[in-house]
Amino acid sequence: MNDETQWLSPREQHSWRAFIRLNQKLTARLGSELQTQSKLSGPDFAILVALTDDSAGRLRFQELAKAIDFEQSRLSHQIARMIKRGLVAREECAEDGRGAFVTITDQGRETIEAAAPKHVAAVRRLVLDAIPPEDLDALGDIAARIIRHLDETAP
Amino acid sequence: MNDETQWLSPREQHSWRAFIRLNQKLTARLGSELQTQSKLSGPDFAILVALTDDSAGRLRFQELAKAIDFEQSRLSHQIARMIKRGLVAREECAEDGRGAFVTITDQGRETIEAAAPKHVAAVRRLVLDAIPPEDLDALGDIAARIIRHLDETAP
DNA sequence: ACCCGGTTCTTGACACATCATCTATCGCGA
DNA sequence: TCGCGATAGATGATGTGTCAAGAACCGGGT
């Protein structure tokens, strides 16, 4: 490592730190509201939403992992915990002896249906209410651009 | 909870999901590069930076916690782990028998000085290179606005 | 029919985050 | 001076994330 590092300019640093800080605060805040209002963690919520999005409420581990961008192992642990709590169930796969489905249970469905409105309300109250729609669009566009860049840079 | 929830419009949802997804991907990616290149976690890095920013390289737990927005307990655990690895040290406080300082060690200083350039390079390569400066400014402004809103909404 | 590389998911070890609880000390007011 | 609430920080339990290794199965080539 030489000493010609291109450090961040004050302006860059200011924006960058704000962005990082926002990520942290927001994840913490949304997670905490989810937890106290609905007894769900962020990952719990993401998984239940993904399962609900599927018409059968039932996905292979791979598909689910891809849908929410979880690593295989992380998902495996997460599902194991959720099974204990009765939110989802495991179902063997006839066509492929290795694989398995994750199914949402009735309890899981009730839970997510109760949680979703509260979560949306929190998102609105904490974020959307703070910025005008055109800023949200701008945010979304920039985020999408960076995501594409990340995916290209090293999958 | 009634059934008049104001769900997100498709446009809102699109932007919101992109933003959340970016947060996850980015934290994962930056953390992973930090880990493999410098054997540091995100929290490790944040703490070492904060300590380096201080002229004495030495902060009270409270000050440090505030600087990086960590809860007290989280910081306590984190510092305990970092002490084991020799990155920081604990120093009793003469004026206040309850308190203590966290000091950066020589090894900690070497580590962060080696890590910082690589991290900045990663930030540049993964993010800044993907968007023009004016978009970064816009991002920073929006982030700052939401942060202010979050802090006002419930400190 | 069998081998063998690749796929699918699991598991164990360890780092990290959060919550509730605990200990020690501080400093103020009776 | 004593008592007592408030502050500083530590600790243990539990849930979450990552990595490395493993077990079971698939499918194609021989």
Q: Give the distance from residue A110's alpha carbon to the nearest chain B alpha carbon, in angstroms.
A: 13
Residue A2's pLDDT is 58
Segment A91-102 shows an average pLDDT of: 93
Tally the C-alpha atoms within 13 A of residue B78's C-alpha that lie toward its C-beta: 20
Domains recognised in chain B with CATH numbers: 30-130 (1.10.10.10)
pLDDT band at B154 (very low <50, low <70, confident <90, very high): confident
A146 near B CB under 8 A:
yes
Residue A1's pLDDT is 53
B67 near A CB under 8 A:
no
* Alpha carbon distance B128, B131 (integer Å): 6
First vs last C-alpha separation in chain B: 25
Write down the mean pLDDT value for chain B. 95
- Tens of pLDDT, residue by residue over A59-75, are 999 999 999 999 999 99
* Alpha carbon distance B68, B51 (integer Å): 10
CB of B79 lies under 7 Å from some atom of strand D: yes
pLDDT above 80 (res B99): yes
Write down the mean pLDDT value for chain A. 95
The better pLDDT of the pair B2, A92 is held by A92
Q: Give the distance from residue A139's alpha carbon to the nearest chain B alpha carbon, in angstroms.
A: 7
Residue A155's pLDDT is 61
Contact yes or no for B15 and A149 at CB 8 A: no
SS3 state of residue B89:
strand
Å: A81 CA to D23 C1':
21
Residue B2's pLDDT is 58
Pick B19's closest partner by Cβ from A124, A139, A148: A139
* Alpha carbon distance A17, B50 (integer Å): 13
CB of A93 lies under 7 Å from some atom of strand C: yes
- Which pair of structure tokens corresponds to residue B125? 């390569």
Task: Return the number of other C-beta atoms located less than 10 Å from residue A123's C-beta.
Answer: 19
Closest to B151 in 3D by CA, of A22, A19, A36: A22
DSSP characters over A32-52: HHHHHHHS--HHHHHHHHHHH
